[in-house]
Structure 1
Amino acid sequence: MKTHITNQYLWVIALLLCAGNVHAQFVKGLGDKAKKAAERTVERRVERESSKKTDQAIDSIFSGKKNKKKEKSTGNIPENKNNPVSNTDQQNPDKINSNPDFEPGSKVLFVENFTDDKEGDLPVNWNTTGSAKVTRMAGSDAKWMELSSPGVFIWDKVKNLPENFTLEFDLYVPSTFSYYDYPLWIVIGNMKNKRELMIWEKYKEKRGKEKRNGLLLMLHPQEEGGKKSGYSEYEIWENSEKIAFNKIKSLNRFNVNNNKVKVQIWKQKQRLRMYMGEQKIWDLPQAFESGQVLNTLLFSRYEAKDGNYFYISNVRLASSDDDARSKILNEGRYSTNAILFSTNSSAIQPSSDATLQEIAAILKENPSLKLTIIGHTDNAGQKENNLALSKQRAASVKNELTKKYGIATDRLITDGKGDTEAVSDNTTPEGKAQNRRVEFLRN
């Protein structure tokens, strides 16, 4: 085993030396601007390849200790009453060999579920160079934004992005979507003004004049040749130069059969990870320059056959700057929106696992530490029901920590405050999301 790991490190060193020689030949004779772009591309490629080999070495050690899991279907989305889709739109079970490590941001910044928007209208918090409208799916209370035409769709509420954040949203396409329908691009970037919206229209580029600065992530539910699997790409742009790009195929979590998926994006300083259906598809250690300013979240798509549109819903942007360990041990209090529950229920959603695992690790590292877990709700519903629900949710968190992670029950006390201790305005979706939280107090 030791020899195996050593060989991996030798491979990385060889790659670095080789990359240095290739790099020297490649940039010879280029101008300063081209040199910089080439250097950044080589750096990213070397880091990506070395990171992949290191991960493989580590995975080979622990592969015998991890059990493969069967993930069940999350169910299909019903037909769109305005754009009917076939009943073959369904999720199939899929086997994965690792647990998702996505950790939702602990402080909600903005949420978008289109609750207050009129069906058939462009959502009030969005702007576009094309057309979009709010719609429903038959049999579901959720509202979706239909990206109805080619263009750019920008979330106007987002004026700046923190250094560390998470973005989550539900994505849906009809099962009739084909390889010849154009993909969806997700943009995390920097714009000086709204006039620059046009530079993110993927298929209307003016080569060399885009002034792009940011990251593009692409999703498509069908490969060429009629294959029932999706694919994804990314592009990194710095000052009008596309300095890195790549493509992966055979995505089984998002395709014309599995056509409704949760997309999760996690930025930590320069690093970016992307997940689909809790399966990691991208891990880019140098997706951004250190200290790069980002102020824009938008979607971009080009033409498709009538009815073959992209739909998004339940958009959640949250910062992930809070350090649970520091807050609990030094300040004695930690509050998080990252432990999520089903609506009007105390059932904990799977995306909460990373946060609960972190709390459990803090407790294990500090055997004398005892915590009070306090549930909070928004003001929807009757006060007595909210109080009971908040107590039940706190109890669910305790139960998870004791049964799944082995924390002694006498180290955890539970309580609930219902909607009596709001930290934000309950009249907005963002305020409600911030009020739905779990607190951990040091005893």
Structure 2
Amino acid sequence: MKKLTLITTLMFCVAITQAQTETLKEKLARKLKEAKDQKIEKTIDKALGKSEEKLDKSVNGVIEGKEKKNKADKENTEETSNTSNQSGTSNANTSPSAKISATSKFDFISGEKVLYYDDFSRVAVGDFPADINTNASGEVVTLEGKEGKWLNMTKNGAFIPDNIKNLPENFTLEFEVGIDKDPSNNYSGLGLNFNINNDQLFKDMFFAKGTSIVYLHPGAAQATISIIPTQGTDISNEIPMPQWDVNNKTFAKVSIWRQKGRLRVYVDQDKLIDIPRFFTENQVYGFAFFRNFFRECNVFIGNIKYAIAPADTRSKLITEGKFVTRGILFDVNSDQIKPESNGVLKEIAAVLQENPTVKVKIIGHTDSDGNAALNLDLSKQRSAAVKNALSTVFGVDASRLETDGKGAAEPSEPNTTPQGKANNRRVEFIKL
């Protein structure tokens, strides 16, 4: 009986052991399965994470691409708008440039008859103009970001245009000038030498009597005048010139206006100098540019225009019934009026306001360069732009203004020389 009990007990223990052993196996299998499942899940999560990352990058790439495209489209639209303004296809009935102002103090009026115009288009790059005498050196160049050709005055010395001499009592002289490096504030700078003795035109210092000079120095941001009369006391003065300061602005437009003894000098749209007794001698003056800079630098000059000073606008338009001006200037191939036209527009507006019953026709003219049909359209757009400026900026009743354009069909002189073309680019005011 004991034996049977022992066997039964042993069998029960074995059964329990077997049950426990099976449970452990099952547990181990389950754990192994769980570990395997976890590994698979981690692998899947990792893969999904990478996919999500790729998806995010892809989505972000699409968004960034869309943003770049929108930005590019906006820039292209602005560029197209700017290009249309340059090409002369802009609407002339829109508001004129904000640069044209009825309150501007810029009263310069460009000469009515161009005697000499030089944009150096006739001169090969690398050559020196044959009609400019010099004791220095230079060459004609093109400049990045600047239209046309420029004379690079590379060394100190005098530059005497053959076509600017025996100066009349009333004339205007306009040119653009630039510099490429800081020359320091030493030496005299860019000189404009007006002299009764032609031998003195080759100098850049130690001048004899009968000399009147304007110095423009972008290194010092300063203009200086020096007057050495044959009789009386020498005169000199210094004037700040922030308009042409090499540290802020390397290029500028210079406009000079002589009325007998008086000299006015403008830099960009500011009157810099106004001297009633600059030309002290009752003799004919000659003229020369000269440069005198301390450090090595290149000085560029271009778009030189020398003209007979305009007659009285009021008497010409009212008494003669016609006024022609070459002082209303436009951007290239555009009806956008340049700010240096302000003086002429203000003068014409004053005449019309003082004579409220007078009506005028504004007629635009171009030179013969380019397509004839486009020139005709451009001349009409420009006359409309002048009407718009006189009306909206200067307060002239638009009903008193008619417009027309002739393109190159009615030249005032042959289009065979630079000055001939400059004279043909004009605006006429005809009293109706």
**So what's the TM-score if we normalise by structure 2?**
0.72
Helix, strand or coil for the counterpart of 1:266?
Answer: strand
Which residue of 2 is the match for residue 328 of structure 1? 317
**Is structure 2 residue 214 aligned with structure 1 residue 217?**
yes
- Taking structure 1 as reference, are residues 355 and 374 closer, same or farther at Cα in structure 2, changes over 3 Å only? same
CA distance in structure 2 between the partners assigned to 1:132 and 1:242 by the alignment: 36
Counterpart of 1:334, as a letter, is: F
Aligned-partner Cα distance in 1 for 2:233–2:129: 32
2:100 alignment partner in structure 1: none
| Ranges in structure 1 where 5+ consecutive residues have no aligned partner | 1-96, 224-229
- 1:147 has 2:153 as partner: yes
1:201 aligns to 2:190 (yes or no): no
Aligned equivalent of 1:91: none
Once the 2 structures are TM-superposed, how far is the Cα of residue 403 of structure 1 from its aligned partner? 0.8
| Pairing partner for 2:356 from 355, 367, 381 | 367
**Alignment correspondent of 1:84:** none
* Alpha-carbon contact 1:119-1:134 (below 8 Å) kept: yes
Partners of 1:309 and 1:139 lie apart in 2 by: 16
Give the aligned residue type for 2:336: A
Say if 2:368 and 2:415, in contact at 8 Å, map to a contact too.
Answer: yes
Secondary structure (helix, strand or coil) at the match of 1:263 reads strand
Q: Within the alignment, does 1:283 sit opposite 2:279 as a pair?
A: no
- 2:383 aligned with 1:406: no
* Partner in structure 2 of residue 389 of structure 1: 378
Task: State, as a whole percentage, how many aligned pairs show the same letter.
Answer: 40
Q: Which residue of 1 aligns with 2:130?
A: 124
Per-residue CA shift, 1:207-230, capped at 9, x if unaligned? xxx54423101111223xxxxxx1
Are 1:237 and 2:240 matched, yes or no? Answer: no
Cα pair 1:269 1:291 within 8 Å, conserved? no
Q: Distance in 1 between matches of 2:223 and 2:147?
A: 30
Residue of structure 1 equivalent to 2:292: 302
Q: Which residue of 2 aligns with 1:45?
A: none
CA gap of 1:242–1:235, structure 2 versus 1, over 3 A, is farther
* 1:130-209 mapped onto 2 (5 Å cutoff): 130-180=136-186, 183-192=189-198, 195-198=199-202, 200-202=203-205, 205=206
- Which residue among 406, 427, 432 is the counterpart of 1:417? 406
Residues 244-273 of structure 1: CA distance to partner in whole angstroms, max 9, x if unpaired? 111234x32111221111111111121111
Correspondence 1:111 to 2:111: no
Question: What secondary structure sits across from 1:398 in the alignment?
Answer: helix
Opposite residue 408 of structure 2, the aligned amino acid is D
Where do 1:80-91 residues align within 5 Å?
A: none
- Matching of residue 253 in structure 1 with residue 243 in structure 2: yes
Is the 8 Å Cα contact of residues 261 and 276 (structure 2) preserved in structure 1? yes
Check whether the contact 2:107–2:344 (CA below 8 A) recurs between aligned residues: no
CA distance in 1, matches of 2:144, 2:121: 16
Return the alpha-carbon distance in structure 2 between the equivalents of residues 354 and 216 of structure 1. 25
How much does 1:334 deviate? 1.0
1:358 aligned partner, one-letter code = E
Q: State the Cα distance separating 1:106 from its structure 2 match.
A: 2.4
**Residue pair 1:372, 1:440 contacting (<8 A) in 2 also:** yes
Structure 2 matches for 1:319-358, cutoff 5 A? 319-358=308-347
**Structure 2 counterpart of 1:439:** 428
Q: Secondary structure of 2:381's partner?
A: helix
TM-score calculated relative to the size of structure 1: 0.70
Give the whole-Å Cα distance in 1 for the aligned partners of 2:395 and 2:269.
24
Range that drifts further, 433-442 or 211-220 = 211-220
Superposed displacement of residue 285, structure 1: 1.2
CA displacement 1:288-319 (0-9 Å, x = unmatched): 2374422x22112235433x132111111122
Q: Which structure 1 residue ranges, 4+ long, deviate > 6 Å from structure 2?
A: none
Where does residue 262 of structure 2 map in the other structure?
A: 271
Q: CA deviation at 1:345?
A: 0.9
Q: CA deviation at 1:242?
A: 6.5
The size of the alignment, in residue pairs, is: 329
| 1:378-413: CA deviation from partner (whole Å, max 9, x where unpaired) | 001111111111111111111111111221122111
Separation in 1, partners of 2:338, 2:253? 13
What do residues 33-63 of structure 1 show as CA deviations (whole Å, max 9, x unaligned)?
xxxxxxxxxxxxxxxxxxxxxxxxxxxxxxx
Deviation at 1:373, TM superposition (A): 0.7
Using the alignment, how far apart are the partners of 2:372 and 2:153 within structure 1? 38
Shift of 1:112: 1.3
CA contact (8 A) 1:346 1:389 kept: yes
Measured in 2, the distance between the counterparts of 1:240 and 1:131 equals 35
CA drift at 1:327? 1.3
CA contact (8 A) 1:235 1:242 kept: no
Task: Say whether the 8 Å CA contact 2:363–2:403 is kept in structure 1.
Answer: yes
**Deviations 1:53-75, CA, capped at 9 Å, x for gaps:** xxxxxxxxxxxxxxxxxxxxxxx
Question: How far is 1:125 from its partner?
Answer: 2.2
Shift of 1:175: 3.5
CA distance in structure 2 between the partners assigned to 1:150 and 1:120 by the alignment: 18
Query: Are the equivalent residues in 2 in contact too, given 1:211–1:240 (CA < 8 A)?
Result: no
More relative contact order in 1 or in 2 (CA 8 Å, sep 6+)?
2
**Which protein is richer in helix relative to its size?**
2
RMSD: 2.0
Aligned CA distance change for structure 1 residues 185 and 134 (closer, same or farther; 3 Å) = same
